[in-house]
Chain A
Amino acid sequence: MKDLRKYIHDAANEHHETVDNDALWQGIELKMKKPKKKRRILLFLFLSGIMSLIVISALGYYIWITPNPSQTVATETIPIQDLDEVGFQNLASQDTRINKPANSSNVYLNTTKEEIYPTNTNALIHMNTNTKTINNSGSTSPEKDNVKNASEHFFDNNKASSTATHETALFPFSGKISEPKKVDVVNQNWLEIPTLESLFVKEVRSSKNNVFDLPRVITPPQSYPDQNVSFLRSLTIYGQYGFGNKTIFGETGNAAERNKTEKLLEQVRIGLEANLIHVSDFILYGGVSFVSINDIVEVEESYFEDREITYLKTIIQTDNGEQYEFSTENLPHLITKEATRFNSHRMLSIPVGFGFGKEFSGIYLGLGFGLDFNYSFSDIHTIISLDNQLIDYTTKAQWLDPSLHTTISLDFPVHQNWFIHSKVMYRNTSIKNEVLGVNFEEKYSLYGIDLGLKLCF
């Protein structure tokens, strides 16, 4: 008699079904294309989000940071035609702005230095096309001589010109003097600036509508202590040690077995974080970090396994000649397994979130809440398989689902703008992988302690 189990085994191994291979292959090709599409959409959404953030930041910078000249600048005007050239140059070296109304023969000089906000940006450079330069005769002159020529032209003729060259020198915030930049400007409302050894921003402007309309000037936050919105207020470098727990979801039996054998060992993180936008006491922060989530796999189990096909056959013949056959299959074997392995999920993490911060006796207390965008690198992991064997499999390099985090931070002042940064955080992370056709999800609940150094600007 042949055992049914073995017979089925042999039958299934020998038997080949008829398959429409072309249709099968078409289905496979179709399915293989789908995930890529999904990934592209996710990537598109992610990049769109980043771009939106940049655009909003830029708009915010433009709208909120740029001061309203009418509110911040007091202007005193002096008829410049009463000055001689030396007097004018003395004033021009102190001040930087000369306005001339188009409908007036007088040129006015603004004498308030507060108008010039030191900056290391190019915001004062006004670009234009259709460049022409002027000299006394009105013909085109080399750009090198523009300033001088225009200065002479200004004092000689004292009349508005339809085209002019405009030079702007930048005064960096750091106190260093940048190289003057010449920018050709052609605009009916702009006049030539006669700069001397320019250390200050100089521009001449004529406007039919508003003689004192000042050019847009970018102001650093320090110039306005009461300014509500500021950008890039701090940069923090930190290290984090984390602990917590791990749960595996997936195919019922194997997930249970993996939960018995796998535990979270630790989480290590190093990274950079910046306070990107500061609105009053609220902060939008972001950063980048490298994360390693380390697991330990411990298998130590003794159990009886009757998977081996073993036959014990006994034939008993009774007195009346009848035979009885007893067969036993799958005699149990005692199996003992003992092994320790370590697995690591290595990730690049981009945390983004918003927070609230307040100072108490020189110590800054902050609360934060946000998302992590994690990219997990490929790695080889050892896990227990469906048939209780330790197997190695390769984890996918992939973008993970965004994870949530909450933080409480304390910053202690050390020296000037430097702070000791400490933080406790909670973070949940989910990593999905497929092992031999079975989908598993590893969910981590992580508690971390940060220690770092923070530089405030």
Chain B
Amino acid sequence: MGSIKNNIATVLRYLQKGDQDTFKEVVYHYSGILMTVAKIYTRNKEDAEDVLQDAFISIYRNAQNFTGSEEKAFIAWMKKIVTNVALSKYRKMHYSKETYTLDTISPQFEEPLVLKQYEYEELMNAIYNLPLKYKRVVGLFALNGYSHKEIAEMLDIKPNTSRSLYSRATTMLYKALSPKKKIVLDEGSKKIYT
């Protein structure tokens, strides 16, 4: 783990030359963080693994297109590939298979969350458990930093739909997380939202 981080330039050079051993090392090293992205954009773990395999192959074959030299940029580039592969997989997704619909989710939430009190793992699990069409928007908007206009183009939906999906997803996340912990904004402070 540490060796890659300290020798990222060398690793990239070997990877760009098509060295299989380096590629294997990259797979073992970055699979965890990329699986997080894959699970956001897929329905289940099996699909996520499938996407991750395809994404790593794409990373290997397109390594010469990566021009950066820092690990942070390399990770961001790999995440983008995982995202693209996952989106391609579900391009013709049928929303009718989803069990959730917008109508069943209340858009209101009663109490603000102080999210810093949560563990990241709980939040990620809550995101994973969202229906695919919601968590895709959450991922593209919150994780990848795309605008709703860009998301709309990528998913072939309207920008307002993207905003609406994100809003509903946020509500669903609050609902999923709220029962587990009682949230208070700050000790002694007044309630902001009623």
Contact = CB atoms under 8 A, between A and B. Distances in A.
User: Interface size for chain B: under 10, 10 to 19, 20 to 34, or 35 or more residues?
Assistant: 35 or more
Nearest to B82: A437
A325 interface: yes
A1 B191 CA distance: 12
Nearest to B153: A253
Contact of B145 (A23, A307, A436): A307
B120 A10 contact: yes
Given A12-B40, A307-B150, A19 B142 contact: no
Given A14-B120, A437-B81, A252 B115 contact: no
A19, A256, A322 — which one has the most chain B CB atoms within 10 A of its CB? A19
B141 interface: yes
Contact of A434 (B33, B49, B58, B91): B58
Contact of A4 (B84, B142, B150, B185): B142
Interface string A240-281: 000000000001111011000000000000000000000000
B27 A24 contact: yes
Contact of A306 (B32, B33, B53, B147): B147
Given A1-B112, A12-B143, A386-B84, A24 B53 contact: yes
B62 A436 contact: yes
A393 interface: yes
Dominant secondary structure of chain A at its interface with chain B: mixed
Given A15-B124, A321-B190, A438 B156 contact: no
Contacts, number: 167
Interface of A: 1-2, 4-19, 21, 23-25, 27-28, 31-32, 251-254, 256-257, 303, 305-307, 309, 321-325, 330, 386-388, 391-394, 396, 434-439
B154 A24 contact: no
A24 B114 CA distance: 37
B87 interface: yes
B52 interface: yes
Given A11-B123, A12-B40, A31-B57, A17 B35 contact: yes
B80 interface: yes
Contact of B115 (A4, A325, A386, A391): A4
Contact of B116 (A2, A23, A437): A2
B62 A393 contact: yes
Nearest to B83: A437
28 contacts: A1-B114, A2-B115, A4-B142, A4-B173, A10-B120, A12-B139, A12-B143, A16-B36, A17-B39, A18-B32, A24-B52, A25-B27, A27-B49, A28-B27, A28-B53, A251-B87, A251-B154, A253-B153, A253-B155, A254-B154, A306-B148, A307-B146, A330-B147, A394-B62, A435-B62, A436-B80, A437-B58, A437-B62
